[in-house]
Structure formats: C-alpha cells, structure tokens
Structure 1
Amino acid sequence: MTAVLTAMSDFSQRFLFDDTDVRGELVALRDSYQHVLAKHSYPAPVAELLGEMLAAAALLVGTLKFDGLLVLQARSEGPVPLLMVECSSEREVRAIARYDAEQVQPGDGLNQLMPEGTLMLTVDPRQGQRYQGIVALEGANLAECLSGYFANSEQLPTRFWLQADGRVARGMLLQALPADRLKDPEERAANWQHLTTLADSLTAEELLGLDNSTVLHRLYHQEQVRLFDEQPLVFRCSCSRERSASALVSLGEEDAQQLVVEQGGSISIDCQFCNQKYLFDAADIAQLFAGGGSEPPAQTKH
C-alpha cells in the first residue's frame, strides 16, 4: 500500500548509499511554507517558485557544516525581480519575493518569471570567512540551475529535484562524496549516472505526495540505502525591535528626530519578510540615544 504524505511536519532527512560514495537529502516544508505565503498575496507561479527556493535552501544547509546563515537569492529584470530565502544553521527559514502582478501569467515558469536572471548563494558564518557564489539562471527550472551551479563551481557533483504547489514544498538532493568505497573513476561515474537517472524518473506527484521512505523505496529498492533521523525545520523571522533600533541609531540622533517629524510623529520600520511593524516616536528616539535601550519608556505605550 502506498504511503501518502498527508499530515507532514517540516523537516529534512539525510540518506546514504552504503555501498557507494553518494549521500542524499530529502526536505519537506508545509507549515513554514504556509507562514511565508500568509505574509504576502503571491500569484500561484510566484508562490510555487518561492517554495522551490525554500526547499533548495533547506537542502543546501544540510550539505554544510557551519554556524551561521545561508542566503539563496535570485534577481532578474523580469516579472519577478527578486526571490530571497534565508536558512540558518539551526534550520530556521524565512523568504520573500518581489513581483509585478500585471506581468505574471498563470502557468509561468522560471524562464518567464526571471529571464536572464542570476542566482547568488551566500554562506555567512558567525565566525570565519563569508563565501559567495553567483551563476546565471540558465536552465528550465530552479533545480537545473542549482545543479549547473555545482557543476561549474568545481565542487562535489550535486543534483537537485524541487517541487512546490502552494501547499507543500519538497526537494531531493544527491551529492557525490570523496572516493572511499569506489576508487575507480569510471566506476564512480557510472554509479553516479545510475543513481541520478533513477532519480530523474520521480514524478512531481510522487515527490509532493509520498513520504520519504516510500520515495526512496520507489527509486532505490535494489540499493542499500540508510535513512537517518529527521531534522526539524521551522519558520522564524530574525527581525526585532532591537535590530530596528540599531538601524535608527546608525542614522544619528539629529537625523532620526528629523525623520520622526517628517513621518508625522513616529517612525514605522516594517519587516519585509513577516510584515511586523516597529514604531518609534520622539521619546523612543531620545531614550535610544541616552542609552536607555529600545523598549518603549512607558508601560502604557503600544
């Protein structure tokens, strides 16, 4: 009997081919995807592409050992000028898209939404050197673009499969590991071709609808596959009143107070990711620059 993905939580799950030098990762996003979509009224093609980006970022975090933030960003001059997903090493995600509603048509894919675009991957560790890579959005879909990015960056061969339908976002990754069990280059190449060809047979309906064990059995029932424990993912925005206050302090007290006057008595700082608003009036600004912190000075203030 087929196991159907119904009440899925948000998680990534690593798997390993015991007899070869290939690892994999599967990711499922439902609640966090819905949190992202609830903040903005995205047209279906934009919501689906943003879901694929969310799944891709969660997969990429699983390939890295770091403490910090991964940012996946796509830009273009087309109907969707910006897609951005952030995923922390704690697997906390947030995402946003910018789009021109009049130009987005039902059924549009990556090439229509983001023609001649670029894809940027940034890894920003809390300690150590920041890494950034940029590649053209050349491919029929986001999965092809990401696979091409790894093929051109001289990193370990890596392939992506991504799907999103406005309800759930799913992704799968295969990545070659350094030679250990298979030493012969031709044998390694043949094995990689075998595993990726099988993965290419996975349909969108299967990836979106089946649980991880069933997906792996469907593809690799003749292989020795080890599935590891689930790692939870969650939507969480990193905005805060304190961070907004720090941005105001960087303006300088005179300019901040002038901005209060220009905006009719209070400054509103809006988070683009979650739509949270942070208000600061003249008393808040005075308190900030007197070293009193970012919390409102009066308990009765809202």
Structure 2
Amino acid sequence: MSNTDQCQRFLFADVDVRGEIVNLTDSYQQTVGNHEYPAVVKEQLGEFLAASVLLASGIKYEGRLVLQVRGDGELSLIMAECTSEGEVRGIARFEEPPASDKFSELTGQGVLTITVDSRRSEPYQGVVQLSEESLGKSLEGYFEQSEQLQSWFLFAVDGQKACGIMLQQLPANKQTTEERADTWQHLMVLAKTLTQQELLDLPAEELLHRLFHQEQVSLFEPKEFVYRCSCSRERTAQALVSIGKEEVDSIIAEHGAVNVACEFCGTEYQFDASEANLLLNPENNTVH
C-alpha cells in the first residue's frame, strides 16, 4: 500500500472472520491541512477518518457514511465522512485548544453516531455510548451491541498518515458457536501483538504475513480513496436562504456582500447584494 490512500479487505479461509486495512496519507493531510489543529486534534481526526473508511468498506451502499461524536468534552464535535465513491473529509470543533490527550476528556459525555445516508433507501443511524478508552473500544461496543458481532480495531496516526485495521466476525456460516469463539480468541492473541508503529510502516501483505503467517488469508485488491469536499456555490446559496432575509440584509448593509466559508475545506463563496436579493426574493425574478 506504501504511501497511497487505500483500503484492502482480507478474509480467513474456512472461518467466519474478515478484516480491513486502511492507509490514508494525502487525504489525511488535506483534511487536517485546511485548519490549524493542535496535534492531539489531528490525531483524533485521523482516527475518525480511518474508521469511517473501515466501516464504509464493509457495507454496500450508495451515498455517504458519517461517523461523529458530539459531546461536552474539550471537542464539541469530531466528524468524518466517507462516500461510496471513495471520497473522504472530516472536521473537528472546539472553543479552546484541548489541554488533554485522553479520549474521555476530549469527547466528554457524548455518544458515537454512525449514519448511512443512502441515495436508494431510508437513512440508517446507529448510536452507542462512548467508551472512555478510545474510538476503537467505542466501535467494538457498537458492533457487539447492535449486531452481536465481535470486532477489534487498532488505529495509528503520526501526523503524516492515518492507518487502521479491523477484524470482525461474520454472521455464523462455516463454524459452530464453540468453533467461532475459539477462532476469535486465537486470532485476537495474534492481532494484539501488532504495534502502532508496525501498522504505520508495514505494507498490507507484509503486515498480514507478520500476524497470520500460519493462517490461510486472502488479500483482495485495494480500493482507492481521495479527499474531496462536497461544498458548492449552490449548496452555500441554500444555506444563505436558511439564514433569513433580515440577517442577510443586515450583513450586506454593513459589508456590502455576504462571504460564506466552508468549514470543511475553507473555500469562500461571496454573494453581492443583487445575488442575495435574487436568492431571498425569488418572486421578483422576471424573465424577459
């Protein structure tokens, strides 16, 4: 996988377990490069980006998957989004630079929300209480609670790239209940020998050989991911309408125009008085 933005699935032969490995370099750097985030925020946002890709790669959908936490901790919001087309972006909000690097203090008393906003079906949303330990532990709790599937996550972020690995039980198919439990315990013993540095440094094939060389593992072709923001002038205009005529008129009276910046990528859209008038008073539009 080297220094590219990819996610690869792997399967174990004759057992009910699958896995995903993700490495985000360019998309991670572009996400955090749009803001002057402290190092601890960059690390957490990197984990959320990697997690959104791991989760999105494991399901079939057309739309976007959003992973977010809103809490009363030092971060009021941390969110990552991955589309079915392989586009990722993310954001974090806070009033003051965090003083702690502990997950529990960064997120506070919040909930983890996973939303699948599909273009072909009704949106799905899953919510679970946060684990005080980490994002990985919170996700493990989510899958155990919502789908009764054992899962394991490990993330590693070093300022240049964000990486993650997931192991997860599949619905019972090839094994008995006792066999599933024994297999999972065995694979966990092996998986937990992996260090964060190895996750950052090793290509997927080498990493899997390092962990599971005695197992039969199939590694699939990688799927590529890119950073892309979904903002546009049209969407920003819709947001402007939602603000309301009175407030927009007040801004124009003071500044001569309305400038709206995308909080994800920083792109700024400007609307002068005539454009704002057309947006807010569509009944005055006349075609000659």
Q: How many residues align?
A: 283
Q: Which residue of 2 aligns with 1:145?
A: 138
Which residue, out of 208, 211, 221, partners 2:213?
A: 221
| Contact residue 45 and residue 109 of structure 1 kept, 8 A | no
| Contact residue 257 and residue 282 of structure 1 kept, 8 A | no
Q: Which residue of 2 aligns with 1:162?
A: 155
Q: Which residue of 2 aligns with 1:28?
A: 23
Gaps of 5+ in 1: 293-302
Gaps of 5+ in 2: none
Counterpart AA for 2:272 = D
CA RMSD of aligned residues (A): 1.9
Which residue, out of 187, 203, 207, partners 2:195?
A: 203
User: Closer, same or farther in 2 for the Cα pair 1:40/1:257, shift >3 Å?
Assistant: closer
Counterpart AA for 2:90 = A
Residue 119 of structure 2 corresponds to residue 116 of structure 1 = no
Residue 189 of structure 2 corresponds to residue 194 of structure 1 = no
Residue 256 of structure 2 corresponds to residue 265 of structure 1 = yes
- Decide which moves more: 95-104 or 240-249: 95-104
Q: Which residue of 2 aligns with 1:16?
A: 11
Which residue, out of 115, 118, 121, partners 1:125?
A: 118
Q: Which residue of 1 aligns with 2:51?
A: 56
Counterpart AA for 1:225 = V
TM-score using structure 1 length: 0.88
Q: Which residue of 2 aligns with 1:297?
A: none
Q: Which runs of 4+ in 1 moved over 4 A?
A: none
Residue 265 of structure 2 corresponds to residue 283 of structure 1 = no
Deviation of residue 115 (structure 1)? 2.5
Distance 1:153 1:42 in 2: 33
- Cα shift readout 1:151-205 (whole Å, capped 9, x = no counterpart): 11134332211111211100111121122222x1101111011112211111011
Counterpart AA for 1:177 = L
Deviation of residue 283 (structure 1)? 1.8
Residue 74 of structure 2 corresponds to residue 40 of structure 1 = no
- Decide which moves more: 134-143 or 27-36: 134-143
Distance 1:190 1:291 in 2: 70
| Contact residue 29 and residue 160 of structure 2 kept, 8 A | yes
